[in-house]
Amino acid sequence: MTPVYETWEAARGAQIIAEHSKVEGATLVILHALQEAFGYVPEDALPMVATALNLSRAEVYGVFTFYHDFRARPAGRHVLKLCRAEACQAAGGDALAARAEAKLGISIGNTTPDERVTLEPIYCLGLCATAPSAMLDGRLVGRLDNARIDALVSEAQR
Amino acid sequence: MNLHLFVPCDAGALAVGADEVAHALHSAALERGITLDIVRTGSRGLYWLEPLVELATPEGRIGFGPVTSADAASLLDAIVSNGPHALRLGLTEEIPWLKRQTRLTFARCGIIDPLSLTDYRAHGGYKGLERALTLPPDAIIAEVTASGLRGRGGAGFPTGVKWKTVAQTAADRKFVICNADEGDSGTFADRMLMEGDPFVLIEGMTIAGIAVGATKGYIYTRSEYPHAIATMTKAIAIARQDGLLGDRIAGSNFTFDLEVRTGAGAYVCGEETALMESIEGRRGLVRAKPPLPAHHGLFGKPTVVNNLLSFSAIPFILDQGAKAYADFGMGRSRGTMPIQIAGNVRFGGLFETAFGITLGDLVDEIGGGTLTGRPVRAVQVGGPLGAYFPRALFDTPFDYEAFAARDGLIGHGGIVVFDDSVDMAKQARFAMEFCAIESCGKCTPCRIGSTRGAETIARIQRGDRVPENIALVEDLCNTLKLGSLCALGGFTSYPVMSALKYFREDFGPQQPRLQAAE
């Protein structure tokens, strides 16, 4: 299922920030909520978070850039995350990752030029006994083989 | 006709089609006029059999697996006619892989409806808290100390000692944190338990809160675990509604509440001080110790930080007594360890057993060797920071001290099996690369050493001045081990040094490798 996100509007952003700003240590909670709503964390939102939490812009920017999850711009329509950690490596994950890269014509960490698919590494989905595994827009898939990775890539390209 | 089935909703089962199977069973039942009641459970942990469908019978649950949605119709027909079926496994509890385990922490996982308090109580749940409420706090701590329970996150620090320190530190507020930031590849016990038996964690943390005088607890887990987060959050709401969290827990004078906090893809936040920084809303930078979190932890207050598996062992210890727990295990490693067998392995899954079982038994006998059928060449124990063990060390018993004596660690109990197509120089380089990606950047050995390490191993792989570069990597590993602020940099030396020590032949100009496992 294609995730549907709202278009960034400062008023909506302010509302989301206000909903969570009373939480103790709210920065990550707010960044998660913004990304969930808009699909990324718009640059304009960062100073708003800083003001709401009485932090410097630099502090909020520092948090935003520290964590791998947060995006500065929207991802492709579909996000395919391939587990690149040891258990999946042991089960043949490297070859499958290369196959997905070849099929999509991009290397891991990039988005296809038509902005349909973002291919990302993930370090462990906790599906290590049904490896190799992947996640397509939040849906988990284990026991990947050539046929399954091909199907996943095709699904993401649609 | 009425049928009562169990289908897991564990993420590992969902990833191989459990939802599709449940849906197909419903459709097939409708066509046949069968009234079907499906309870979604956690996983039993026998992952090669997932999706594992179970049928309730007067004799016990009968398992079928691995089931696909295409099997749904034939499976129902076989059940109705009481006939044979190719996927029929007999009584699940009698499957040797499950039967030879000692399930204390995972006693209910895969059996109960994870979000049913009635189910939880019917299977012994909340008896530990009930007993804890009859004891003074120091007696609870004494019980935990006597059980010999040590931190299941990897460091193995005695849980009772940690609790006692927090209990004795005066403060206006204290916290209990569950480290469920299970980032190690090859581990999934925390995930399974949050998805399959969340109340055991809630109960364990509540007991901890009462014992040390904390009123608030946090469960810090990973964004990679959306199903676990959803189940845990719902379970907390249910417990609160039932008076088991919040003010006057279970009618007592104690107050304790819980909150789930989600990380954002930073492995280093599994380190307890980085984790606290993250909850406080900052970059996950490691803090220097001392001060210990027990004195100066979350928001500067005394804090218990324990692994999910440590907290989840507590209800059993309080209910059955310290001795019942300590009777299992060997040496200073008491009780049971939920071991996770993964990677290229035939029978992968969760195997909870008393400490002392050998690595060889776990890999060859229980794991059944590799899925590809090729010989086992190496196993990595304890996650990305754990050592690679060759077959020659398969006599090592699963025990904190025994692994440390062989320059390894049991960590969070994950075992990843590799066959003979593995390139150990590549694995060593990956360990350095992973450290470089995940380093918080606070200390130099980890921040720069990991990048230099990856570059140097790449040179070795190209055949560039191999002996000198190997010496350089070894020197770098020593610097990382002795000079890093936390275990991320410090323990990255384990996979690299073990690969160099036991698989030296892989370090040199790259030979054409065997076909990679697929």
* Domain final position from B69, B99, B129: B99
What's the angle, vertex CA B262, arms to CA B260 and CA B267, rounded to 5? 130
SS3 B110: coil
Do the bridges between strand A110-111 and strand A117-122 make them parallel or antiparallel, or are there none, so unpaired? antiparallel
Residue B492 and residue B461 share a domain: yes
Residue B277 and residue B171 share a domain: yes
Model confidence, pTM: 0.96
* B513 band by pLDDT with thresholds 50, 70 and 90: low
Whether B298 is covered by a domain: the verdict is: yes
Residue B383 and residue B356 share a domain: yes
Residue A103 and residue A53 share a domain: no
Q: Give exposure, A79-93, as e/b (b: 16+ Cβ within 10 Å).
A: bbbbbbbbbbbbbbb
Residue B517 near chain A (CB below 8 Å) = yes
Residue A85 and residue A26 share a domain: no
Residue B305 and residue B166 share a domain: yes
Q: Are B382 and B339 in contact (CB under 8 A)?
A: no
Residue B447 and residue B407 share a domain: no
pLDDT given at position B396: 97
The residue ranges of DSSP E strands in B167-256, in sequence order, are 175-180, 216-221
Residue A86 and residue A61 share a domain: no
Residue A47 and residue A89 share a domain: no
CATH of the domain at B320: 3.40.50.11540
Whether B7 is covered by a domain: the verdict is: yes
Residue B335 and residue B322 share a domain: no
Q: Are B392 and B498 in contact (CB under 8 A)?
A: no
* Domain final position from B326, B352, B370: B326
* B142 band by pLDDT with thresholds 50, 70 and 90: very high
pLDDT digits (tens, 9 = 90+) for A53-63: 999 999 999 99
Which pair of structure tokens corresponds to residue B35? 């009234």
pLDDT given at position B255: 97
Residue A94 near chain B (CB below 8 Å) = yes
pLDDT given at position B252: 96
Residue A151 and residue A83 share a domain: yes
Residue A90 and residue A41 share a domain: no
Whether A146 is covered by a domain: the verdict is: yes
* A1 band by pLDDT with thresholds 50, 70 and 90: low
Whether A1 is covered by a domain: the verdict is: no
Terminal Cα-to-Cα distance of chain B (whole angstroms): 44
Q: Are A141 and B20 in contact (CB under 8 A)?
A: no
* Domain final position from B99, B126, B155: B99
Residue A61 and residue A82 share a domain: no
Residue B235 and residue B169 share a domain: yes
Whether A124 is covered by a domain: the verdict is: yes
Distance CA A4, CA B61 (A): 42
CATH of the domain at B376: 3.10.20.600
CATH of the domain at B69: 3.40.30.10
Mutation target among A17, A23, A28 for the B interface, most CBs of B within 10 A: A28
Residue B175 near chain A (CB below 8 Å) = no
Map tokens 């699909």 to a residue. A39
Residue B212 and residue B294 share a domain: yes
Residue B142 and residue B291 share a domain: yes
pLDDT cut 90: percent of chain B above it: 97
Contact B345 A129 (CB under 8 A): yes
Whether A73 is covered by a domain: the verdict is: no
Whether A32 is covered by a domain: the verdict is: yes
**Taking CB atoms and an 8 Å cut-off, how many pairs form between chains A and B?**
159
Whether B104 is covered by a domain: the verdict is: no
Least Cα separation, residue A123 to chain B (angstroms): 7
Contact A128 B182 (CB under 8 A): no
* Domain final position from A66, A88, A109: A66
Q: What is the DSSP letter of B485?
A: S
Residue B453 and residue B379 share a domain: no
Residue A88 and residue A62 share a domain: no
Chain A hits for B281, CB-CB cut-off 8 Å, are 25-29, 53, 63
Least Cα separation, residue B332 to chain A (angstroms): 29
Residue B378 near chain A (CB below 8 Å) = no
* Domain final position from A39, A66, A93: A66
Whether B309 is covered by a domain: the verdict is: yes
Whether B516 is covered by a domain: the verdict is: no
Whether A3 is covered by a domain: the verdict is: no
Residue of B nearest to A84 (CA): B185
Whether B110 is covered by a domain: the verdict is: no
Which residues constitute the domain of residue A97?
A: 78-157
The residue ranges of DSSP E strands in B372-493, in sequence order, are 376-381, 388-390, 414-419
Q: Are B322 and B144 in contact (CB under 8 A)?
A: yes
Distance CA B241, CA B239 (A): 5
Whether B105 is covered by a domain: the verdict is: no
pLDDT digits (tens, 9 = 90+) for B179-208: 999 999 999 999 999 999 999 999 999 999
Which residues constitute the domain of residue B407?
A: 329-419
Least Cα separation, residue B384 to chain A (angstroms): 7
B358 φψ region: left (φ > 0), alpha (ψ -120 to 50), beta (else): beta
Most distant CA atoms of chain B, gap in Å? 75
Quote the mean pLDDT of chain B: 96
pLDDT given at position B516: 47
Distance CA A75, CA B99 (A): 47
pLDDT digits (tens, 9 = 90+) for A22-69: 999 999 999 999 999 999 999 999 999 999 999 999 999 999 999 999
CATH of the domain at A146: 3.40.30.10
Residue A126 near chain B (CB below 8 Å) = yes
SS3 A48: helix
Number of structural domains in chain A? 2
Whether B158 is covered by a domain: the verdict is: yes
Which pair of structure tokens corresponds to residue B279? 């909850």
Burial tier of B350 (Cβ tally within 10 Å: 0-12, 13-18, 19+): buried
pLDDT digits (tens, 9 = 90+) for B293-334: 999 999 999 999 999 999 999 999 999 999 999 999 999 999
pLDDT digits (tens, 9 = 90+) for B16-49: 999 999 999 999 999 999 999 999 999 999 999 9
Whether A150 is covered by a domain: the verdict is: yes
Distance CA A141, CA B65 (A): 18
**ipTM metric:** 0.97
Number of structural domains in chain B? 4
Whether A100 is covered by a domain: the verdict is: yes
Residue A136 and residue A85 share a domain: yes
Distance CA B195, CA A140 (A): 15
Residue B312 and residue B269 share a domain: yes
Residue B142 and residue B238 share a domain: yes
From B16, B264, B422, residue closest to A67, measured CB to CB = B264
Residue A152 and residue A102 share a domain: yes
